[in-house]
Chains A and B, each alone.
Chain A
């Protein structure tokens, strides 16, 4: 048994000689214990995720060759997907969520140009928050357990939104094609779903290439981080197929509902379908007040203005 042990020892030794990581470009801190949305959100009774697991404490950026690595640190170790079956197709949790986490989505909205009125003011579908036009976002980095499916679904949902805005206006097949092309480009240009992800204890690091964020994630840009629970199921929106004004479904977001729930977040407000299912929010202002307002309007923060 010497050779396998030697191989493991070699692996450990190789790691020991890895170069030390450079310091962060910037750090944003978020209070501990605020993973309660507007103040009353409770975690699912099933225990997945468990309290603290979606409590974002720190968001950091590190410069790397060809891009930026962002690191999010939570209050508790991130739950790792295991081999349990989660689909009638025979797929295991590890196969459905291959990046090493499955309980949360972390959206990082970036206001690159910091020009008032420039950028999008709507968050990704299902977050139920909006952005202050003064801090409208230009790019979003969406760390989600099913990046390919999320990207595909986002494309479909934004197309639906675009068609809805054009309701009553006839258009040719060529115009429809152009619309689709425009949405494709919008997704490509605006939203990045990281796939180079490393989960270690309570931290998750993910790589954002310069091709998406030219110049990297500098301290002079403005950022807002939104943590939601992940719903891994891809669902067909039947209402959306038949009804033009059907509400847009969420992008793999675990909903919030009143009472104590087994499989969704509880503590939701009664008769409030617009309540954001946001668990933790790193943005300018007091989280609870922002999430209680309707619409819940968020403004990114600039690390250079926050960090000492």
Chain B
């Protein structure tokens, strides 16, 4: 076999390297194929071939990735036939000096099953697609006094009968949309690193369509928007971070705890968000499917002081009525709503049947190093979120006519299936849904934190932070009932956190300790128009409230207490890490 001067076989000269085995996929793109958590049980395996040309100005990579079976398909599964399920990827990058980068990336995901109707087995069994997904992305980046990066992605996804029902139902839990969808996503980033002495400004515009779908996109491990987004301490709909907590009992209580996860959320371009198998001191990912908006982010530094700010406006491509298709029943939709966008936060719920939502985020962060001893790090942040969602905002979708008869919005279907009246309208257990404002949501959210850190010795760093969250939330009234599925969170929340962190390095080993004490209150305000009830003995037992205490029983029998709630949680994590 002939060889090149570098000793490389001519046969393989066209490629730089080939990997057959595992990869964390970090070399691709969060919008298309995202990095997979490297300690994940679902590490990806495949064949990866890379090459280059034009003096490495042009690079390319081809890959065949076996689809991770536990999440990369409808119903968090790739079905029962796995051997041929794969994602095929191509990416290439062309660099023109240091000023211009051009990139293209594409993937095609094919999840196939044995054809259940192929009874002629003499010639083997045929395969039929269960789920297909294709994404193409184009990227350009220009560097100079102004840095510009833009990326555009187009996606196609389709689930196939008879393997996947295109109707995911009102409470769908699946990482893909039912049926066939095409949509696009894009971001434009402009950086002005030296706008004024000490001042840099970053701008970002973004649009991630409601139907944008890439099953291999980053589920976490990425942050595709520069905004802080929401805070990770508010992870699930209930005031205590419970989902389906309105039904009480074990299994419906909080999974992560009152304190939630740490810091602000990371934004990922998928509904396949994964916060499982993570500790409380890790960041939380939230979906940005449907987000349209922009961020202004000035950063100022002068000596030991660094100040940065953010203003972000978000409207939503998912602002629609009756899932954007009033021809169908409310319970018939291709859009999985997961927990649903209710409560203070809900990280993976991109879709709701009715939405008319806007979000404003403003934040100012400061860091200052006090020049005493080894230097004391002071840091703090103030953040404000104002979010409104009118949800159902057309009369024709109201569940009942003024005379009390059921109203249909398309001649057949009615939202009375969702917002049914209480059995007794004279002494109603909950407010009958009669007004467009019954489900309106307004979030007034202020948080701030203040902390200090100090390098006690070369090996030991300690910090202490106090964080406070003050939230006034109107999340519909008892006619809405958080889609009948979750504890209502309307009212005033006051959450506090004390966080102590220590990090110690010794001879190549790292030791860490984090302790958090979270405490706070929730004062419910569920509006009026219903008769307050007393908790039965069973409701009291299931929900941990005194028998006879005030509240109301919802459509599905769940109990919402009107008592003020007091929370406290103490948790700690200690670790030692030795890497060889």
Chain B residue at minimal CB-CB distance from A36: B56
- Provide a sorted-by-A list of 11 A–B residue pairs whose CB atoms are within 8 angstroms: A1-B360, A7-B309, A82-B222, A89-B577, A148-B459, A149-B505, A156-B508, A196-B304, A200-B200, A235-B579, A236-B508
**B364 near A76: Cβ-Cβ < 8 Å:** no
A76 contact set on B, CB distance < 8 A = 98, 143
> Which parts of B135-193 form the interface with A (CB within 8 Å)?
143, 147, 191, 193
**A18 near B311: Cβ-Cβ < 8 Å:** no
The distance from the CB of A86 to the nearest CB of chain B, in whole angstroms, is 9
**A18 near B197: Cβ-Cβ < 8 Å:** yes
> Which parts of B48-101 form the interface with A (CB within 8 Å)?
50, 52, 56, 59, 61, 93, 95, 98
**B301 near A198: Cβ-Cβ < 8 Å:** yes
A64 contact set on B, CB distance < 8 A = 303
Contact (A234, B579) CB under 8 Å given A45-B27, A195-B369:
yes
**B505 near A15: Cβ-Cβ < 8 Å:** no
How many residue pairs link A and B with beta carbons under 8 A? The number is 171
The proximity string for A residues 17-58 relative to B, scoring 1 for CB distances below 8 Å and 0 otherwise, is 011110000000000100000000010011100011001000
**A18 near B302: Cβ-Cβ < 8 Å:** yes
The distance from the CB of B496 to the nearest CB of chain A, in whole angstroms, is 22
B98 contact set on A, CB distance < 8 A = 32, 51-52, 55, 75-76
The proximity string for B residues 190-221 relative to A, scoring 1 for CB distances below 8 Å and 0 otherwise, is 01011111111100000000000000000011
**B196 near A236: Cβ-Cβ < 8 Å:** no
The distance from the CB of B453 to the nearest CB of chain A, in whole angstroms, is 10
Chain A residue at minimal CB-CB distance from B299: A200
A42 contact set on B, CB distance < 8 A = 56
Identify which of A7, A18, A46, A82 contacts B196 (C-beta below 8 A).
A18
The proximity string for A residues 259-281 relative to B, scoring 1 for CB distances below 8 Å and 0 otherwise, is 11110000000000000000000
Question: Which stretch (B277-285, B342-350, B520-528, B549-557) binds chain A?
Answer: B277-285
A185 contact set on B, CB distance < 8 A = none
B397 contact set on A, CB distance < 8 A = none
A66 contact set on B, CB distance < 8 A = 371
The proximity string for A residues 170-196 relative to B, scoring 1 for CB distances below 8 Å and 0 otherwise, is 000000000000000000000000011
**B50 near A77: Cβ-Cβ < 8 Å:** no
A168 at the A/B interface (Cβ < 8 Å)? no
**A4 near B360: Cβ-Cβ < 8 Å:** yes
Give bound CA distance, A257 to B281, whole Å.
Answer: 36
Chain B residue at minimal CB-CB distance from A184: B458
For the residues of B in contact with A, the DSSP-based class is strand
Classify chain B: how many residues form its interface, as a range.
Answer: 35 or more
Give bound CA distance, A152 to B17, whole Å.
Answer: 37
Contact (A238, B360) CB under 8 Å given A15-B199, A77-B193:
no
Give bound CA distance, A295 to B74, whole Å.
Answer: 59
The proximity string for A residues 225-248 relative to B, scoring 1 for CB distances below 8 Å and 0 otherwise, is 000000001111110000000000
Contact (A152, B458) CB under 8 Å given A8-B309, A85-B221, A90-B279:
yes
**A201 near B194: Cβ-Cβ < 8 Å:** yes
**B458 near A201: Cβ-Cβ < 8 Å:** no
Count A-side interface residues using an 8 Å CB cutoff. 64
The distance from the CB of B388 to the nearest CB of chain A, in whole angstroms, is 11
B14 at the A/B interface (Cβ < 8 Å)? no
Give bound CA distance, A51 to B101, whole Å.
Answer: 11
Give bound CA distance, A42 to B50, whole Å.
Answer: 14
The distance from the CB of A14 to the nearest CB of chain B, in whole angstroms, is 7
**B306 near A12: Cβ-Cβ < 8 Å:** no
B121 at the A/B interface (Cβ < 8 Å)? no
The distance from the CB of A63 to the nearest CB of chain B, in whole angstroms, is 13
> Which parts of A72-125 form the interface with B (CB within 8 Å)?
75-77, 82-85, 87-92
B296 at the A/B interface (Cβ < 8 Å)? yes
**B17 near A260: Cβ-Cβ < 8 Å:** yes
The proximity string for B residues 281-303 relative to A, scoring 1 for CB distances below 8 Å and 0 otherwise, is 11100000000000010111111
Chain A residue at minimal CB-CB distance from B577: A89
A55 contact set on B, CB distance < 8 A = 98
A91 contact set on B, CB distance < 8 A = 512
**A45 near B26: Cβ-Cβ < 8 Å:** no
B39 contact set on A, CB distance < 8 A = 88
> Which parts of B5-30 form the interface with A (CB within 8 Å)?
16-17, 19, 26-27
**A45 near B221: Cβ-Cβ < 8 Å:** no
Contact (A85, B223) CB under 8 Å given A20-B197, A45-B16:
no
B570 at the A/B interface (Cβ < 8 Å)? no
Give bound CA distance, A92 to B262, whole Å.
Answer: 11
B119 at the A/B interface (Cβ < 8 Å)? no
